[in-house]
Amino acid sequence: MSFPEPHVNPDAAAPGVDMSRRSFLRTSAVLASGLAAIAASLSPLRELDDYTSLDRFMQKYYKELTPEEMEKVLQRIAADVERQYGIRPHVRDLKPMNGVEFVYALNLTRCIGCRKCVHACVQENNQSRTPELQYIRVLRMPNGSLDIEKAEHNYAPESVPEKGHFYMPVQCQQCRNPPCVKVCPVHATWQETDGITVIDYDWCIGCRYCEAACPYWARRFNFTKPSIPKERLNPNMAYLGNRPRRQGVMEKCHFCIQRTRAGRYPACLEVCPAGARKFGNVLDPNSEVSYILRTKRVFIQLKEELGTAPRFFYYFDV
Amino acid sequence: MDERPPPARPQNHSSIAWVLRTLVVVFGGLAGAFLLNPWGRTAPLQPIPLVDPSFLDTATVRRSYANLVQAKEDLSDFDCYACHEKNKPPVLRFDAKQNLIIPSEHSDIVMGHGEHGRNNNCFNCHNEANLEQLQTRDGRVVKFQDSPQLCGSCHGPTFEDWEAGAHGRISGYWDRALGPYQRQQCVNCHNPHSPRFPSRKPAPGPHLLRPPISVPTAAADAH
């Protein structure tokens, strides 16, 4: 390549030679500065270090992965986590159990609004601390009404419970008829046989349609790369559960899949000082939740009229 | 100068040169823009303080006698006959309003079980003949470790719920085939002398990136 125009260039070299010294210097100077300019203008891409893994980019859809491929994916995730946090995690892909359908029941008479569940959840599920991303929102409402328009979730009194109020924690309701699943354009979220609506964080494109579709404000979006302090990372991870997320993907409560599919209670239940939270297999007639649904005043599924049929029930004593 | 139309090749060259020059200017401009950042960088997020680990604690609100026995802790507080005399039931004293006068040795006890202070007799629950045991109103003797039986003798429906797992705390494994579970007793959460569940400081609420939009306060809504 030679430019500028050699035919008007007074420095033009002898016929047969394409380039004079001056035009060569000029050309290379222009070329060098052009390349430097391209490199500099692409510099913001360096911050996208999350996106560099070719393996992840080429990864197949969760439901199409063979067990061997899944094993490789889990190893890749473990290596990624170790590289970023310096902790070797225990990542599993837990499948739903046969004959199990999870149901949550929350006793509104007992909840004191202390928000311990919120933070136990953040700790268990490796959510971002700055900015803060929480799956559970505790609503404070005046007694005698159930008007969510009057709910307040920024309450900060000296001590709870406060007179004249009750508290209603809201998280993913694990609907039988989930609107969020219907709107997902890439099938990155779906309902499993045990009733948990899960998200494949590696398949999510971050369009946030599901967030708009959810009537319970239960889905959260990672606007930034989640920041989790190393010392607070929970190394017990599941693929569809609490493995660290990337920037630009949705997440939400998954009933602590890494615990509940291994037979344990979810973290929010374990930490509740008032025993307001009850969880179990509704297909087992002897489980706590079966007893509650049979005998207690189970008054709502939240926003029942929408026909989402939540698996999260609120009930009262007395 | 030259009247002839320029040959095809050089014309080609000149248009390439123009394109290249424009590109260099564009990229140079972009690079300059990224460096100088004329639109202003978004302010870095203020780190939100980590939540106090006490809010992550799964311990119960209080420790019962059974817990202390289990943990092999100092039980001298429960050695009734270090002070009391055997076979000599303690005498209860009441003031003019029929309120129990709590002896100074037991000053840590707050009597608040039941409305109107009518449940003010220690021996409604404690066994006066053997202070190391409890008794129900119908005379059944209950060990300290089995205290839910005593509570259940009055609070039947709640006891039923507790037995079914609907009242109180159960932790561990929901799938009993996969692991153990632990059911907390009444006195792990309720102080038997004043059983109302204690109030506590709430964990911090959500930290917003922007100041909150004012919401109708509870006071404004109260009628």
Count of domains forming chain A: 2
Most confidently modeled range among A281-285, B38-42, B124-128? A281-285
Q: Which amino acid is at B38?
A: P
pLDDT band at B6 (very low <50, low <70, confident <90, very high): low
Q: Is the pLDDT of residue A1 over 60?
A: no
For the beta carbon of residue B182, count every other beta carbon within 10 angstroms. Answer: 10
pLDDT band at B209 (very low <50, low <70, confident <90, very high): confident
Provide the domain limits for residue A41. 1-46
Statement to judge: residues A223 and A117 lie in one domain:
yes
Residue A81 lies in a domain: no
The arrangement of strands across the sheet holding A297-300 comes to A277-281, A102-107, A312-316, A297-300
Mean pLDDT, residues B148-164: 94
3-state secondary structure of A80: helix
Statement to judge: residues A23 and A145 lie in one domain:
no
pLDDT band at B76 (very low <50, low <70, confident <90, very high): confident
How many Å lie between the alpha carbon of B135 and the closest alpha carbon of chain A?
27
Q: Tell me what percent of the residues of chain B surpass a pLDDT of 90.
A: 38
Do the chains contact at B222 and A160, CB–CB below 8 Å? no
Whole-prediction pTM: 0.81
For the beta carbon of residue A25, count every other beta carbon within 10 angstroms. Answer: 11
Q: Is the pLDDT of residue A199 over 70?
A: yes
Most confidently modeled range among A3-12, B66-75, B163-172? B163-172
Statement to judge: residues A218 and A285 lie in one domain:
yes
Residue of B nearest to A315 (CA): B166
Statement to judge: residues A150 and A285 lie in one domain:
yes
3-state secondary structure of A102: strand
| Residue whose pair of structure tokens reads 């179990």 in the numeric block | A280
- The 10s digit of each residue's pLDDT in A265-308 is 999 999 999 999 999 999 999 999 999 999 998 877 788 889 99
Do the chains contact at A272 and B169, CB–CB below 8 Å? yes
Do the chains contact at B14 and A4, CB–CB below 8 Å? yes
Residue A125 lies in a domain: yes
Could you state, in order of their start, the residue ranges of all structural domains in chain B?
63-189
SS3 of A126-162: the string is CCCCCCCCCCCEEEEEECCCCCHHHCECCCCCCCECC
- Total residue length of chain B: 223
Cα angle value B203/B206/B208 (rounded, 5°):
145
Cα angle value A106/A111/A114 (rounded, 5°):
125
- Between CA A239 and CA B99 the distance in angstroms is 61
Calculate the CA A38 to chain-centre distance: 35
In DSSP terms, A138 is beta-bridged to A169
Statement to judge: residues A30 and A159 lie in one domain:
no
For the beta carbon of residue A171, count every other beta carbon within 10 angstroms. Answer: 24
| pLDDT confidence of residue A5 | 53
Statement to judge: residues A39 and A133 lie in one domain:
no
| pLDDT confidence of residue A244 | 94
For position A205, which CATH number holds?
3.30.70.20
| pLDDT confidence of residue A115 | 95
Residue of B nearest to A117 (CA): B56
Q: Is the pLDDT of residue B121 over 90?
A: no
- The 10s digit of each residue's pLDDT in A124-150 is 999 999 889 999 999 999 998 888 888
Q: A176: alpha, beta or left, given left = phi > 0 and alpha = psi -120 to 50?
A: alpha
Q: Is the pLDDT of residue B13 over 80?
A: no
How many Å lie between the alpha carbon of A60 and the closest alpha carbon of chain B?
32
Statement to judge: residues A27 and A174 lie in one domain:
no
How many Å lie between the alpha carbon of B10 and the closest alpha carbon of chain A?
6
Q: Which of B24, B166, B203 sits opposite A30 (nearest CB)?
A: B24
CB contacts, 8 Å: B31 with chain A: 36-37, 39-41, 43
Statement to judge: residues A216 and A148 lie in one domain:
yes
Interface confidence: ipTM more than 0.85: no
Statement to judge: residues A39 and A108 lie in one domain:
no
- The 10s digit of each residue's pLDDT in A216-249 is 999 999 998 899 999 999 999 999 999 999 999 9
